[in-house]
Amino acid sequence: MLIKFRIKHPKLFRILKEGKKFLLIFSIVFVIVFTIFNGRAFLQQSKYALNIKIEEGENFLEKLSLPQKEEIYNVPNSIIIPKININAPIIFTQTTNNKEILNELENGVVHYPNSALPGQIGSAILLGHSSAYPWYKGNYGAIFGLLNYLEENDEIIIFYQKYKYIYKVINKKVVNKNTELIAQSSRPQLILISCWPVGTAWQRILIEAELIN
């Protein structure tokens, strides 16, 4: 039947063949361009997956030369996640305007203004990029690109107003991008949010952690 079809409809067959070739070329070009545009995030993912420089995470706090026994720390508002080598400023903003928040994300991780503050009862929500194009202005375009590697009981350290707060991861999930940010909790919690999968804004990855110290 296939032979008869080719003989009877040679033009249609040629169109289908050329269409398949176009789709193949288009797919290859798309993958190459997509990878280049999100290079810094994919480089992070590759290094972590291949266990390159993972030893840095094990001694991350020591390399930062942070005092371990003080109650008051002369450290800027910041988030540190030793397992995935994150050390970034926390930007506290009063706006919920998406454009203004995107501008603030060039300078670090952004605290969502309608959420609790670190250490308080409720959920403190921090937003960060998982990937960014090569021409992105800031240094934090892929700061949350490795959130998917966090597991239960991993530590997240927050410095806020010279106090140190230690959280432990209790949950990880991927939700619809239109999910409402809810900052209500009967306990002090922390929620990290970023676009997901890497290189897209289709969904959101959420890391939930609870205060332990």
With b for 16 or more beta-carbon neighbours within 10 A and e for fewer, the 147-168 pattern comes to bbbbeeebbbbbbbeeebbebe
**What is the tens place of the pLDDT at every residue in 45-100?**
666 766 654 455 556 666 666 666 667 888 899 999 999 989 999 999 998 898 99
Give the Cα separation of 190 and 105 in Å (integer). Answer: 18
Give the Cα separation of 101 and 119 in Å (integer). Answer: 23
Nearest to 206 by CA among 147, 122, 155: 147
DSSP 138-151: SS-TTTTTTGGG--
Residue 157 scores a pLDDT above 90: yes
Long-range contacts, stretch 54-59, CB < 8 angstroms, 24+ apart: 56/85, 57/82, 57/83, 57/84, 57/85, 58/82
Task: Output the pLDDT for position 135.
Answer: 72
Q: How many CB atoms lie within 10 A of CB 121?
A: 12
Residues near 211 by beta carbon (within 8 Å), at least 6 away in sequence: 119, 165, 166, 167, 187, 188, 189, 190
Task: Output the pLDDT for position 36.
Answer: 53
- Length of the chain (residues): 213
Domain with residues 38-211, CATH architecture: Beta Barrel (2.40)
**What is the tens place of the pLDDT at every residue in 5-42?**
454 566 666 666 666 666 666 566 545 554 555 556 66
41-55, 106-120, 145-159: range with lowest mean pLDDT: 41-55
Higher pLDDT residue, 49 or 136? Answer: 136
DSSP 16-45: HHHHHHHHHHHHHHHHHHHHHHTHHHHHHH
Give the Cα separation of 172 and 192 in Å (integer). Answer: 10
7-21, 97-111, 198-212: range with lowest mean pLDDT: 7-21
Percent of the chain with pLDDT over 70: 66
Give the Cα separation of 27 and 25 in Å (integer). Answer: 5
Q: How many CB atoms lie within 10 A of CB 50?
A: 9
Residue 104 scores a pLDDT above 90: yes
